[in-house]
Amino acid sequence: MPGVDLRSDTVTKPSDAMRKAMANAEVGDDVYGEDPTVNRLQDQVAELLGKEAALFVPSGSMADQIAVNILTRPGDAVMCAPDAHIAFHEAGATPMLSGVQFSFMPGGIFSGDDVRGAYHPNDHHYPPTSLVEVENTYNMGGGLVWSLAALQDVLAAAKELGMHTMLDGARLWNAALASGESEARLCNGFDAVTVCLSKGLGAPVGSIIAGDKALMHRAHRVRKMIGGGMRQAGILAAAGLLAIDEGRKRLAQDHENATFLAEGLGKIDGLRLCTEGVASNIVIVEVDAKLASAAQLQERCAKKGLLFFPTRPDRFRLVTHLNVDRAGCQKALDILREACGA
């Protein structure tokens, strides 16, 4: 059996059907809005998310940065969760590109009262907090899923305070499955939403930002400014269409495999789950310091064919995806058990 790669759900390989769709895609110049496959993808995702319009971009980081840029002004502050992707996993782009700083909330899932408590008005002593950013699922929290009620509570507070709202829905597909709510209901009320086609759904590249038509007109300009105009991008959009149509149908397998991993990890001495149960397709594990650091354990496991991602000196993350089946998860557990016993 080949190695097991649980670093992320971005490591998947496009299927033969996806490669065929890409090869046969009808294309045009997307910067001029003339690529029919890109237009079809944008329209389909906008409808799925309950938004007026959408824009196809190369990456989730670009989608997030465009959203922040069009919803803030330099000198503003953005409320977001601790370890939010926009703050810690996008190479410092947010303050560099948009000139904003962060106001970190007390947890990955926070409340409307938390928003009110962290809010600074447009006082000359403070950066005005003009944007609330929600991450659903919350990556570093072990794929935590926001309830619809919690989302509405935060949105109500933001509206009361006159703030813009943004949803980083890179794994929104997983959140919809886990919560039993549609993507549109989870997006309702947010000014801008970003979703990823290469996380979970299996496309080789691409993300979408969605909102009203006026906001997406501005987003198109910012995409051009930061180098996101891709011309005949229908070749990539074709993979995205197939990912939307087919990829969401099998996400339940990833969630089941993550639960299987969590149950097995709970039986390995020296490892402890950082959350109660598994919310979606991400498992965060703490390593006993007497055993090893997360980096040392990573090195041991890599030699045996298991890849994963340390998130802190004492923690690592496992992410299930379409290219790792139940047998692969069992192999991962066997390797971890052997490495922990070494």
pLDDT in the model for residue 122: 76
Q: Which fold has domain 4-10+250-341?
A: Aspartate Aminotransferase, domain 1 (3.90.1150)
Q: Which fold has domain 16-248?
A: Aspartate Aminotransferase; domain 2 (3.40.640)
The neighbouring-strand residues paired with 165 are 132
pLDDT in the model for residue 96: 96
pLDDT digits (tens, 9 = 90+) for 74-121: 999 999 999 999 999 999 999 999 999 999 999 999 999 999 999 998
Task: Name the segment(s) of the chain with CATH classification 3.90.1150.10.
Answer: 4-10+250-341
pLDDT in the model for residue 342: 59
In angstroms, rounded to a whole number, what is the distance separating the alpha carbons of residues 99 and 233?
30
Least Cα distance to 172 among 160, 187, 162, 157 occurs for 187
What percent of the chain is predicted at pLDDT more than 70?
99
Do 161 and 76 meet the contact criterion of CB atoms below 8 Å apart? no
Q: Please list the pLDDT of the chain residue by residue as tens digits (342 residues).
A: 479 999 999 999 999 999 999 999 999 999 999 999 999 999 999 999 999 999 999 999 999 999 999 999 999 999 999 999 999 999 999 999 999 999 999 999 999 999 999 999 878 888 999 999 999 999 999 999 999 999 999 999 999 999 999 999 999 999 999 999 999 999 999 999 999 999 999 999 999 999 999 999 999 999 999 999 999 999 999 999 999 999 999 999 999 999 999 999 999 999 999 988 899 999 999 999 999 999 999 999 999 999 999 999 999 999 999 999 999 999 999 999 999 985
* Structure-token match 């609330």, residue found: 132
pLDDT in the model for residue 277: 85
Do 294 and 312 meet the contact criterion of CB atoms below 8 Å apart? yes
pLDDT in the model for residue 275: 87
Cis peptide leading into 137, omega within 30 of 0? yes
pLDDT in the model for residue 31: 95
Task: Name the segment(s) of the chain with CATH classification 3.40.640.10.
Answer: 16-248
In angstroms, rounded to a whole number, what is the distance separating the alpha carbons of residues 247 and 203?
9
Q: What is the number of other CB atoms lying within 10 angstroms of the CB of residue 43?
A: 12
Distances (CA, A) of 307 to 86, 203, 294: 24, 21, 12
